[in-house]
DNA sequence: GTCCAGGCATGCA
DNA sequence: TGCATGCATGGA
């Protein structure tokens, strides 16, 4: 990976296995919009970003080095996904899937945003998840200009009532969000601490949260807490699991979540 | 109009 | 422990 600062932009070359369409629009993050020029715009970590690919290089537009240090981690740029993919291709289904959809990465999202987003995601489709999260950010996030808003903090959301969440279209999840926001804001749920726990303990801690079951916990662990072994099983992955009657193959060990994201994408397009 | 979506809490056996 | 049920809402 080679990083070059060019005027206001940062150019990164030598990153293999990163397809922006597949990674930013595959149901792991809900705040990226494709622009007419093929670039993506979105917000994470309090930063607005427009990113595009140009001759195989990644262009982080109007990005300084401080912001880039956030994005470098967010896009998991230092992990060797090419090597990971070649390992996963020992499995026959993944071999053809990775050939078809090469370039999916796991984004290192912030734990609060990921947890909150996946509570909203339950029994919901991706389009509507984006709709609700968009409303939430517009109503309670910080205005970054041009129609972009930060994801509101737990502290900010802890002031809301159940009916405030209902007004955003959260439906029956409103009561979960109301309590989750208060629990995180007051420290009863300590997301930073959960990040440091072993996987099983971290999962147990998340499962104690009202409105968080095994699926939401695993999504949060994978997308927001850095646990690449978490393996979320939703309605799509339940269909995929019929292809693995004897359990997950050995080549998934330690990177089950990355395998899962490829299989999830395959299922949504082929089942 | 019906069906479904990155499920969960609850009650009951 | 496992299974049935109700739950909000918008798009297809």
Cβ < 7 Å from strand C, A residues 151-210: 166, 169, 171-172, 175
Q: Are strands A57-61 and A143-145 parallel, antiparallel or unpaired?
A: unpaired
At residue A56, the pLDDT reads 95
At residue A181, the pLDDT reads 98
In angstroms, the CA of A156 and the C1' of B12 are apart by 39
Closest residue (CA) to C1' of nucleotide C8 is A171
Cβ-count burial of A162 within 10 angstroms (0-12 exposed, 13-18 middle, 19+ buried)? middle
At residue A136, the pLDDT reads 98
Name the stretches of chain A with pLDDT < 70. none
Nearest nucleic acid nucleotide to A264, CA to C1' distance: B6
User: In this structure, is the CB of residue A260 within 7 Å of any atom belonging to strand B?
Assistant: yes
Nearest nucleic acid nucleotide to A170, CA to C1' distance: C8
Nucleotides of C strand lying within 7 Å of any protein CB atom: 7-11
Q: Are A88 and A262 in contact (CB under 8 A)?
A: yes
At residue A75, the pLDDT reads 98
For A172, the token pair is 């029956």
At residue A198, the pLDDT reads 97
A110-122 pLDDT, tens digit per residue, is 999 999 999 999 9
Residue A8 CA to residue A77 CA, distance in Å, equals 20
Residue A68's SS3 state is helix
For A86, the token pair is 């070649």
In angstroms, the CA of A204 and the C1' of C11 are apart by 35
At residue A203, the pLDDT reads 98
At residue A168, the pLDDT reads 98
User: In this structure, is the CB of residue A131 within 7 Å of any atom belonging to strand C?
Assistant: yes
At residue A173, the pLDDT reads 98
DSSP strand E in chain A: where? Answer: 2-6, 9-13, 32-34, 40-44, 47-54, 57-61, 143-145, 148-149
What pTM did the predictor assign?
Answer: 0.97
At residue A71, the pLDDT reads 98
User: In this structure, is the CB of residue A215 within 7 Å of any atom belonging to strand B?
Assistant: yes
């Amino acid at each position: 990976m080679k990083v070059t600062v060019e005027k206001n932009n940062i150019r990164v070359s030598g990153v293999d296995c990163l397809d922006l369409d597949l990674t930013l629009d595959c149901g792991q993050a809900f705040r990226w919009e494709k622009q007419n020029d093929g670039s993506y715009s979105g917000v994470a970590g309090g930063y607005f970003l427009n990113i595009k690919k140009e001759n195989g290089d990644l262009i982080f537009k109007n990005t300084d080095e401080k912001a880039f240090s956030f994005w470098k981690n967010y896009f998991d740029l230092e992990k060797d996904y090419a090597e990971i993919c070649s390992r996963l291709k020992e499995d026959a289904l993944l071999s053809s899937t990775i050939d078809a959809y090469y370039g999916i990465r796991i984004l290192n999202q912030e734990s609060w945003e990921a947890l909150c987003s996946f509570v909203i995601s339950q029994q919901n489709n991706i389009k509507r998840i984006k709709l609700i999260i968009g409303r939430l950010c517009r109503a309670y996030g910080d205005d970054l200009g041009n129609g972009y808003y930060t994801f509101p903090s737990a502290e900010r959301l802890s002031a809301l009532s159940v009916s405030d969440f209902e007004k955003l279209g959260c439906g029956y999840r409103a009561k979960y969000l109301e309590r989750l926001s208060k629990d995180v804001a007051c420290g009863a749920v300590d997301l930073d601490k959960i990040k440091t726990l072993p996987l099983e303990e971290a999962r147990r801690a998340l499962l104690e949260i009202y409105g968080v079951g095994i699926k939401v916990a695993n999504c949060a662990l994978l997308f927001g807490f850095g646990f690449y072994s978490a393996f979320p099983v939703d309605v799509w992955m339940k269909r995929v699991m019929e292809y693995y009657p004897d359990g997950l193959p050995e080549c998934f060990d330690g990177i089950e979540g990355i395998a899962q994201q490829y299989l999830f994408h395959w299922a949504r397009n082929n089942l």
